[in-house]
Structure 1
Amino acid sequence: MSANAQPAGEAGASDSQRLDKWLWAARFFKTRPLAVEAINGGKVHVDGQRAKPGRTVRPGTRLSIHKGQLEWQIEVRAVSKQRRPASEAVLLFAEDEASRLKRQALVQERRAGPSLRSEQRGRPTKRDRRRLSELTGK
């Protein structure tokens, strides 16, 4: 763990952090404005309740994060004042096993499903354009 990340057991003046900064440092969002937008949009819940970007999180805080179809149920383990590499950001939280399995199943299902690109055939043919003209009356 880096010098900027503190384990959950350590007590100190800097054992809390703004929610938007923590989400950015833990690499859930690429920028802080994206994190703020998600929080204000109700996509992030702290201990089961909607929160504001300035809400402080401490080790032990439970978060629910929704991004698209994916959902994470996590517990904050540490805070980091800087955005560190992904290998270190993973140490900042612990994800529930059920949440991880559900998210992995969704990702596998999406990968196994038919690709939208394979269903597209490109530009309509002359025959297709004639049929469209008949339907629209043009």
Structure 2
Amino acid sequence: MSKNSVRIDKWLWAARFFKTRGLATEMVSGGHVQMNGERVKASRAVKIGDRLNIVRNQETYVVTITALAEKRGSATIAQTLYQETEESQKSREEQNQLRKLNAASAPAPDKRPDKKARRQIIRFRRRED
């Protein structure tokens, strides 16, 4: 590997998109990360200017690589490694708003169900099957 390229799994880990390098490798292999619109392997080298589509949990990030790093540093340094597109930021904010509205429309119960309520829930679920 030359000094102007880094493995994609190392870069994703250094940029703090994934907590461990193993998880980054798994996500790349699973097709959750695309480089320049193509599915890639974890050993693929990234360069400055490459565009990545990263799907993490329910969020999609579209970023352009602005700097390379093989080692994980602080979060402030990690944020300088990429530039997220405005469309990506807007779509993530819209998705967050939708999730908040969905959570507000189905509030959590005040307490856990007691024994009688649990039995009713079990009976109700069995009727649906």
TM-score between both structures, scaled by the size of structure 2: 0.83
Q: CA deviation at 1:14?
A: 1.1
How many Å separate the matches in 2 of 1:27 and 1:121? 37
Give the Å deviation of 1:39: 0.5
Give the superposition deviation at 1:132. 4.9
Shift of 1:75: 0.5
Q: Paired residue for 2:88?
A: 99
Could you tell me which residue of structure 2 aligns to residue 81 of structure 1? 70
Runs of 4+ more than 6 Å apart: none
Give the counterpart letter for 1:126 in structure 2. K
Q: Which residue of 2 aligns with 1:66?
A: 55
Instruction: Report the equivalent of 1:118.
Output: 108
Query: Deviation per CA, 1:84-107, whole angstroms, max 9, x where unpaired?
Result: 111110000001100011112212
Instruction: State the distance in 2 between where 1:107 and 1:82 align.
Output: 30
Letter in 2 for 1:22: W
Paired-residue identity, %: 35
SS at match of 2:16: coil
Alpha-carbon RMSD across the aligned residues, in angstroms, is 2.6
Q: Any idea what SS the aligned residue of 1:72 has?
A: strand
Q: How many residues align?
A: 125
Q: Determine if the alignment matches structure 1 residue 57 to structure 2 residue 73.
A: no
Task: Look at both structures and tell me which one has the larger radius of gyration over its CA atoms.
Answer: 1
Which letter does structure 2 place at the counterpart of 1:45?
A: Q
Q: Give the equivalent residue in structure 2 for 1:30.
A: 19
Matching residue's letter, 2:19: K
Is the alpha carbon distance of 1:132 and 1:55 closer, same or farther for their aligned partners in structure 2, counting shifts above 3 Å? Answer: closer
Cα distance in 1, alignment partners of residues 124 and 92 from structure 2: 45
Instruction: Give 1:118's aligned amino acid.
Output: A
Give the deviation of 1:118 after TM superposition: 1.2
**Structure 2 residue matching 1:74: 3-state secondary structure:** strand
Give TM-score, length-normalised by structure 1: 0.78
Structure 2, unpaired ranges of 5+: none
* Ranges in structure 1 where 5+ consecutive residues have no aligned partner: 1-12
